[in-house]
Structure 1
């Protein structure tokens, strides 16, 4: 009924072509020998016998011509020639069977050649058919069929034909199933066994159908030899039925393979999609090679595969020469542009992609395009996810780890066992807010980036890790320390990187920082470790030192700090901050010339709290303005009370550096002076020697407006080393105040005495009033007066007191002198008090 014919021998390697030609030559040689032997045995037929011979040749020719390609993994040709040849093996003598079969086959092959078929293929398949019919003929002869053209065509008992036909069919199939798989294997590079197993059930069914048709033909001849002419029509009908069935099976198998291949493309990794696509195309289309090339990447990427797997994956320009590519499909982007191409190297004799296979290729290309775009979309989402995850763990300004990453590292570190000590240092930049308020946030960010870079580089040299917790706070994680005592030393070495000034807005800014260190230990969580370092850091700020280590015994005060911060708003609103006044006297006469305010927090539970316990909280809060206004108002009320009693005093008020950065501060001060009807010259604002005053000169604009209105300025704690003499020239003041530490040590320390003397001389040369703080004894007063210091304050003259108490002291006086709190240093002389004396 049908046979499988070998494929056209083109598009294969040189070695494979040589072996195919050798096989074809062997087949043709054997077939020619069979035909020559049969021709030598022929006897001239009678005119009546010619009819049978012509019909026999026609049967074979029609059966061979009734063939069409069916793609079932390999290129098959289904034909009805086997049934015709089997019929001849039991009706004609062997020599005539071989000659008639050869004639019919060659005739049909030559006709096919004229329709464009390959001559090489026609000769090869024709020779194979001749070998197969020769084998079948002698199998029937061995079974006892000895036909003759004389008389009837059927001369043996029917049982002989029942045995002979299956034997002949088996012999025919043996040759067919040996030569054809060998040919296909050489053409495709696959193994003979693999080709032989391909669609074996279909080929066996086709062979069995050919046997049945041959048996039916023999039965018709037994009934009437003239019915033999109907056999070709039956061959054609059966051929069409089987061809339809095979087409359906081939299409089902193709779509199943397509579905499996497209399912395999549903990956999220682009590399996997491209490799799976190349391998899947080989399986779906039975290609020798398949390659996917992407054009919209730089460089263009190519992935090539064959039946054994991926052959190449890399730049297109470097890919080795492929097999002959005979089919292609562009891969389109969502905007209609081509992003690449799928190319196939189809096996020989396929004739390229045809019919429904074109639809299959379109479907495969569309699925591949979708898979590529989906993989890229997933890659973009994955990249965004990783970027978001990185952003969630890193500071956007400096690129350092953030608080979340630090806590994770601390948590991971607790789960890991290590031999060294672990410590956490929390670093806060001093007065960073002044940089933002003065130069702007852009320069503030620039400073943070510079500090972060320095800390990160220095920490890396010591095996530490830096994180930015927010604002101007940084954390340094110190691991594998040899001993707890080395934590402060290691942190100090890292912080040394901040010694060099930072250039901002054309000026050099010195960065100062306060740090607190806490040691990790059993039972100390990441959050607790961070809290302890924070406590130590604020202790360093209050103490005015660079680094403090956490001590459990000092932690309660820090808890109070947190509590006080929450109570600050209530304290300001309800007036819990009380102002006291310490008198400032003329050192020579002992008369009071001014008073300096001292503020105390009268806490309802904790009692009287000194400024060092709560002032840093106020300065960090947003209540500083309200606090300053309330203190100034109380100070001016006291001043008004003294002046109303006839004592022409002035009042001195300490001003926070943060207040001087508030552009509304001058307006508030002058409004309060006007409200109390006081002369601006009676108010002295004491400025602390700070980084903001000494380096940034950020307060000059604020101070200039106050100075222009008549408010006097004093530089407090002068000579403590926190500033230089250049401040006096850069920011003109009216008074210098000598720090109490120099006054206390001037009798025993030559350096302290020299500092006091130089300050007094500086004040005299600049025309400034010099006030000594902390005058405790009469000897200190005498020494200061002899050096030329004109004014002083301290416990020798009086402690801080209420405004009314100071007024009573002024009225009582000393030695009968109203307004005097100490006896005069020049008895017997007439002292003319030009001020501070009430009218008679």
Structure 2
């Protein structure tokens, strides 16, 4: 209660006491000395008032107010005693009653205020009774008709109630700060019933007194019965009201938002306990949080240390966690006229505190679940290493950007060059550091340029460019972002230069997100092949063959169904024109696409797990053709290209020798042609395979010699028997001195090492003549025959040329006999 409210209450009390004192000052001089019988009546009347004041019932209106049954005693006294004696007896009864019955929370100020109120209300009632025409004497006896007494009692009761209600309502309004209307409505039905019952008792008592004044002794008993009945009703109502309010208050706590729970709890405690203020303080957070509310709502929510001073706190309840630890505390500021809580209210506070604790823990658990859900959602859209958006987030952002109509949309795919060297040289930990640094740089540069960066996996990043003013600005914007990678990155005490290749594609009508990614990927690989930083996608340069995807799915069927067949191109001795061998060339006879050349399907086979079965099938067909020729009397060899991936298979030599044995063929009749790659002669596993084959007698040839970067080193390391000159040198011999020199040097190298040299792509007689003149002994090409099946080649061998069986071209030594020196030992 504020100082202003306290002053107003004291002023009201002073006015009440002054008015009551004035009434007594009027009455006392008019008193006369009573006879013994009259004195007995006066004592009984005073006792009647004492019982009426003592039989009081508590009612809470944000503070505890006690309504009593004194009105019935006052009415009886007013109609049986003269006004001056009635006021004196009421004052004496009130004084004794307040002194005998001391209520919890009572004070001298409160006793004087309430006593003065009863005296003032009694004066109003006696005045109303006199005005109604009843003028009693101490001698007693009916001096007026019963209707006059009835009217006097009714008028006196109204006067008493009006004065009492006015003073009490004004007092409660000042104490609680509530309006007069709110106070008057609180328990109005019980007060009305109590006043009507008091009037009924007064009517009955008056009737008895009119018969014999000594029957006044029976009235206190009736007052006591009335008190007990209404105390019971008040108790039942209070219990029901308390539990209904508790149920409503706890139901309101069933929220999932912690702030909402705390605000509801503070407001609910104010209403439930008729408190001036209620506050909930949480101790297990930093800083401690405090929520305070009053009758008007929440007045503070923030750190405890910054909260303004509260009203005097007179009740509290600790809020305990499930493990017994204290979560916080609920505190109440009860009205100044209330001293603590009674037993029922203590039980209510315990139940409310337990419900509040559960609600706080549930709200926190829900908040943790929401936070965990949100974190999982963020993790599902974030790259765990760099923190950038991942592929899923990029596709979602791309879909959102495509729905907007502002400007041009482009996607750039960025791949780091030679990133594998960092992992292989420094280790994956430093590789990850490099990716993190690149991600940070790209992210910062993209933010500055209004773009979004994502990591798709490995060392591949994507940049989404939105709201571009024109398509032509896409590649310039991407270049500005990629400029952030120019500065070296410090790794393991060294400066590592980051180089990247990027491809950029524009989103257009009908271009899906997947197609946009594919186009950017195609452009990026074009940039890698061209050795430039960035390339924009051009449809005319898109060499992606979707048919290869379907071929990969049909590979198993083709291998099992014998769709791969072998064609043989003869290899002849250049001087005599006689066939000495044939190269087995594989074709795929596809049921829909027709004959497919190796360049269309060989990479698919090499990447699959069917390479072994494919190689075995081709070798079986090649050896079957060789056996057919030898059975016909032609001592030929067969050459077969071997995939570098087969050389990594330790079981490959055993498979080759097994097939040779099955066909009853000499291993020396098989020539395995090796592609000149980095794997040949540099891997220990390859060396073991080649040495095993050579030791078994299988001949080895180095195919396309001269086109690689390390031809001489390969020859020195790989134990081959033949060198095959690439067709590009043969075709340019007549027009290019460099090509002719390359051919001559290869022939000389083969002669010095004792190796057979075979020229590929011999198309014309002039090329044959030139090769023969520089010492090349063998060649193959369309001049001698195109690839045919085994039977067709056998027919050609049988037919011969110029009557020479086995010859496929005329001899360059006309009129001379040529002796073929096959398998000539090294010089």
TM more than 0.5: yes
Distance in 1 (CA, whole Å) between partners of 2:439 and 2:546 is 30
1:191 matched to 2:179: yes
Distance in 1 (CA, whole Å) between partners of 2:329 and 2:307 is 15
Q: TM-score of the superposition, structure 2-length normalised?
A: 0.78
2:234 to 243, 246, 250: 246
Distance verdict in 2 for CA 1:520–1:668, change over 3 Å: same
Q: Which deviations, in whole Å up to 9, do the C-alpha atoms of 1:678-724 show, x marking residues without a partner?
A: 6599654634658xx59xx9x8343243244255888877887xx96
Equivalent runs, 1:232-311 vs 2, <5 Å: 232-311=220-299
Query: For residue 3 of structure 1, what is the aligned residue in structure 2?
Result: none
Distance verdict in 2 for CA 1:537–1:69, change over 3 Å: same
* 1:571 Cα offset (Å): 0.3
1:536–1:550 Cα contact (<8 Å) kept = no
* 1:669 Cα offset (Å): 3.7
Distance verdict in 2 for CA 1:114–1:597, change over 3 Å: same
2:622–2:638 Cα contact (<8 Å) kept = no
* 1:241 Cα offset (Å): 0.9
Distance verdict in 2 for CA 1:142–1:484, change over 3 Å: same
2:563 to 576, 580, 585: 576
Equivalent runs, 1:740-819 vs 2, <5 Å: 795=782, 799-802=786-789
Distance verdict in 2 for CA 1:126–1:568, change over 3 Å: same
1:21 to 10, 17, 34: 10
Distance in 1 (CA, whole Å) between partners of 2:499 and 2:627 is 42
Query: For residue 652 of structure 2, what is the aligned residue in structure 1?
Result: 668
Distance verdict in 2 for CA 1:802–1:435, change over 3 Å: farther
* 1:381 Cα offset (Å): 3.9
1:113–1:119 Cα contact (<8 Å) kept = no
Query: For residue 370 of structure 1, what is the aligned residue in structure 2?
Result: 358
2:140 to 152, 156, 176: 152
Distance verdict in 2 for CA 1:110–1:450, change over 3 Å: same
Distance in 1 (CA, whole Å) between partners of 2:476 and 2:810 is 54
1:618 matched to 2:599: no
2:589 to 602, 617, 624: 602
Distance verdict in 2 for CA 1:96–1:675, change over 3 Å: same
SS at match of 1:709: helix
Query: For residue 703 of structure 1, what is the aligned residue in structure 2?
Result: 686
Q: Which deviations, in whole Å up to 9, do the C-alpha atoms of 1:559-587 show, x marking residues without a partner?
A: 54444333221101012112345567899
Which sits farther off after the overlay, 512-521 or 206-215? 512-521
Distance verdict in 2 for CA 1:575–1:143, change over 3 Å: same
Distance verdict in 2 for CA 1:536–1:393, change over 3 Å: closer
Q: Which deviations, in whole Å up to 9, do the C-alpha atoms of 1:756-814 show, x marking residues without a partner?
A: 99999999999999987656567778888999999876556655454666677789899
Which sits farther off after the overlay, 287-296 or 756-765? 756-765
Distance in 2 (CA, whole Å) between partners of 1:22 and 1:731 is 122
Distance in 2 (CA, whole Å) between partners of 1:656 and 1:565 is 19
RMSD over aligned Cα, in angstroms? Answer: 5.6
1:633–1:672 Cα contact (<8 Å) kept = no
Distance verdict in 2 for CA 1:793–1:726, change over 3 Å: closer
Distance verdict in 2 for CA 1:449–1:632, change over 3 Å: farther
Query: For residue 514 of structure 2, what is the aligned residue in structure 1?
Result: 530
Distance in 1 (CA, whole Å) between partners of 2:159 and 2:789 is 132
SS at match of 2:137: coil
SS at match of 2:101: helix
Distance verdict in 2 for CA 1:56–1:536, change over 3 Å: closer
2:413–2:524 Cα contact (<8 Å) kept = no
Distance in 1 (CA, whole Å) between partners of 2:486 and 2:582 is 39
1:101 to 81, 90, 102: 90
* 1:257 Cα offset (Å): 2.0
Gaps of 5+ in 2: none
Which sits farther off after the overlay, 19-28 or 195-204? 19-28
Gaps of 5+ in 1: 1-11
Q: TM-score of the superposition, structure 1-length normalised?
A: 0.77
Q: Which deviations, in whole Å up to 9, do the C-alpha atoms of 1:84-133 show, x marking residues without a partner?
A: 12222222222222222122112222223498732232222222222222
Distance in 2 (CA, whole Å) between partners of 1:760 and 1:489 is 53
Query: For residue 7 of structure 1, what is the aligned residue in structure 2?
Result: none
1:597–1:654 Cα contact (<8 Å) kept = no
Distance in 2 (CA, whole Å) between partners of 1:360 and 1:170 is 38
Distance verdict in 2 for CA 1:62–1:406, change over 3 Å: same
* 1:233 Cα offset (Å): 0.8
Query: For residue 118 of structure 1, what is the aligned residue in structure 2?
Result: 107
Q: Which deviations, in whole Å up to 9, do the C-alpha atoms of 1:245-289 show, x marking residues without a partner?
A: 122222222222222222222223222222212211212221222
* 1:172 Cα offset (Å): 2.0
Ranked by relative contact order (alpha carbons within 8 Å, sequence separation 6 or more), the top structure is: 1
Distance verdict in 2 for CA 1:333–1:792, change over 3 Å: farther
* 1:341 Cα offset (Å): 3.1
Which sits farther off after the overlay, 771-780 or 322-331? 771-780
Distance verdict in 2 for CA 1:453–1:105, change over 3 Å: same
Distance verdict in 2 for CA 1:625–1:834, change over 3 Å: same
2:212 to 205, 208, 224: 224
Distance in 2 (CA, whole Å) between partners of 1:47 and 1:104 is 19
Q: Which deviations, in whole Å up to 9, do the C-alpha atoms of 1:644-666 show, x marking residues without a partner?
A: 97757573524255x66xx6x12
